Structure 1
């Protein structure tokens, strides 16, 4: 008989030590991975039958990690290696630039913070040479390379490749099936990224032409190319309706982005997409996920608060109901942060920064992924308190309620000042380099007490992707202290420049969203 070591299959596959805690070991919990156990070990049995080779059967062929498939289903891909393929020619500088600067390796962020582009190269390697996925990856890499490096020929090549990808994806969609839905889902989301990079700023309307009745508080002109997000939502819906085997890793990454887009656009999350449990979310991420779904619904219902009193109708939500829902959500968010496990919490350190406008301690987190989730938490609470304060302001227009809401408005403003401070303290870690005993190391999200944290002016593009959404929310939120808002606007400009993102530049310059 063979006596195996204790431990989950996930840790064994990754060749790391497991503490054998059932049903979710500490390493999987911390990294946000699915903790998979052998059936015998779950039952407490410490022995197994001899392996196939010992029984006289031929050995299985060796497979590299790049070929391995993790998870209970063969269709669920979660590459455990740095996502740069040997099939990519070394002379393709644009693609290498995109991979090195925009795509996280497994060891850089935990699963719960990964973007969908993390899974694009594994799918690209098995896609046809002329597939829409290969075309859009090439188009996107040329677009970001051309904008950052200011190379017109690369931008022109991106436009040609994108046009070809549009034609190709339309043909592939006619043959939608279990076998190609992952490629099409990734293609669609990367097309949205491409449009973010390449779309030109729209002309700002003349202030004389803007009335209270046509204020674009959701930035519909900015998000005019939302068809790709809508198409991605439809693809996920079809996967569910057809009962095709889900790719939980990819589906989670796409769904997280779609929820954040819903909040920006001021629309509710579709009902079938709301339950994170169906997509394998768990722990603190699941709890925050469910709250953000509620926030999207509140933002949609609160848009009526921007209308003048004469334009409001009896069918629209009452400001008192909106204030009560915002109050409930703020309490839920506060409870979420208070109940986090120890390894999710941060420490506060002093740092060395060249920015004279920022002279406060810095929050340091276990990983960049944890820092990103905390930044989303701060930004989400900011807009919840902003909506709450706006609803109370509308109620205060009635003289009989003016005094009754004044105290709660003061609470909202105090919350927003505190949240703005915490967000400002969390941003610098994404701009840092860490020095240990005089030796500079790569920027990272952790630091020991012996490390010297130096805050830089520039940010790596893939770290910038983690900051874009919370910064958009923060700078478009009313009533945060002006000096915080200006500092956050400068950081969003740095993020937009690092990403070469035209849409972010528009948001920064025109500042027309309202929360």
Structure 2
């Protein structure tokens, strides 16, 4: 986490426009891309080497399957973890990795503006987007586990989203708040997942009386 914060701070000057020294700016841009890639590889390795009792499974319920008649697996699937603590750690991992890949995406976009850069950057940017898509889906799949029943969010409510009338315990809402706040504020997260996570954040905001969450939902503003 400390390394991710350092990466974000180092990357901030890049996203405020090119400096007067074009070569120094390009060098910093490539350095940010390299560091971000190392971090993403390290985070991925952590997930792949997780002990057996840290792994999670994916399940469905009849209510979820009925809700997802259009084949949308966001609504059909939910994760099962050993404990809520394990689930919270996994979601923090996903949020941190979203931040890293969002920085990579923005850096690649800037690099593509340089005419001397090769087309391989396009492939790397596409891979980053695939990572973001997968992480956003996993966050959506993790959400039902924090509610009292796995189908609480999909048994009623809007046809294409989570049920806004579902209830969550305040302590569970707090566990979900930061990862989902990061996700809905991250560039590249697909609109469908972003809106569904906003639905959940509204529930969490009501449960925990958190005005910051309300601000994120309404304006999409969040400072990592």
Common fold: TM-score over 0.5: yes
Aligned residue among 148, 152, 156 for 1:455? 152
Contact kept, 8 Å, 1:320 with 1:392, in 2: the verdict is no
Residue in 1 that maps onto 2:216: 507
Q: Does 1:326 align with 2:42?
A: no
RMSD: 2.3
Q: Does 1:427 align with 2:136?
A: no
Residue in 1 that maps onto 2:48: 338
Residue in 2 that maps onto 1:211: none
Partners of 1:480 and 1:454 in 2: CA distance: 24
Partners of 1:317 and 1:398 in 2: CA distance: 12
Aligned residue among 195, 210, 215 for 1:486? 195
Report the CA distance between 1:458 and its aligned residue.
Answer: 1.8
Kindly tell me the number of residue pairs found equivalent between the two proteins. Answer: 205
With over 3 angstroms needed to count, the CA separation of the structure-2 counterparts of 1:475 and 1:402, relative to structure 1, is: farther
Q: Greater share of helix residues, 1 or 2?
A: 2
What secondary structure does 2:151 align onto? strand
Alignment TM-score, normalising by the size of structure 1: 0.38
Q: Does 1:298 align with 2:14?
A: no
* Structure of larger gyration radius: 1
What secondary structure does 1:464 align onto? helix
Structure 1 spans left out of the alignment, 5+ residues: 1-291, 434-452
Partners of 1:423 and 1:476 in 2: CA distance: 14
Residue in 2 that maps onto 1:406: 122
Report the CA distance between 1:340 and its aligned residue.
Answer: 1.0
Report the CA distance between 1:406 and its aligned residue.
Answer: 0.7
With over 3 angstroms needed to count, the CA separation of the structure-2 counterparts of 1:500 and 1:514, relative to structure 1, is: closer
Partners of 1:502 and 1:324 in 2: CA distance: 37
Structure 2 spans left out of the alignment, 5+ residues: 154-165
Partners of 1:335 and 1:342 in 2: CA distance: 15
Partners of 1:346 and 1:377 in 2: CA distance: 14
With over 3 angstroms needed to count, the CA separation of the structure-2 counterparts of 1:501 and 1:355, relative to structure 1, is: farther
Residue in 2 that maps onto 1:473: 182
Report the CA distance between 1:482 and its aligned residue.
Answer: 1.0
Q: Does 1:390 align with 2:106?
A: yes
What secondary structure does 1:497 align onto? helix
With over 3 angstroms needed to count, the CA separation of the structure-2 counterparts of 1:505 and 1:512, relative to structure 1, is: same
C-alpha offsets along residues 265-304 of structure 1, whole Å, 9 cap, x if unaligned?
xxxxxxxxxxxxxxxxxxxxxxxxxxx1111111111112
Alignment TM-score, normalising by the size of structure 2: 0.84
Residue in 2 that maps onto 1:92: none
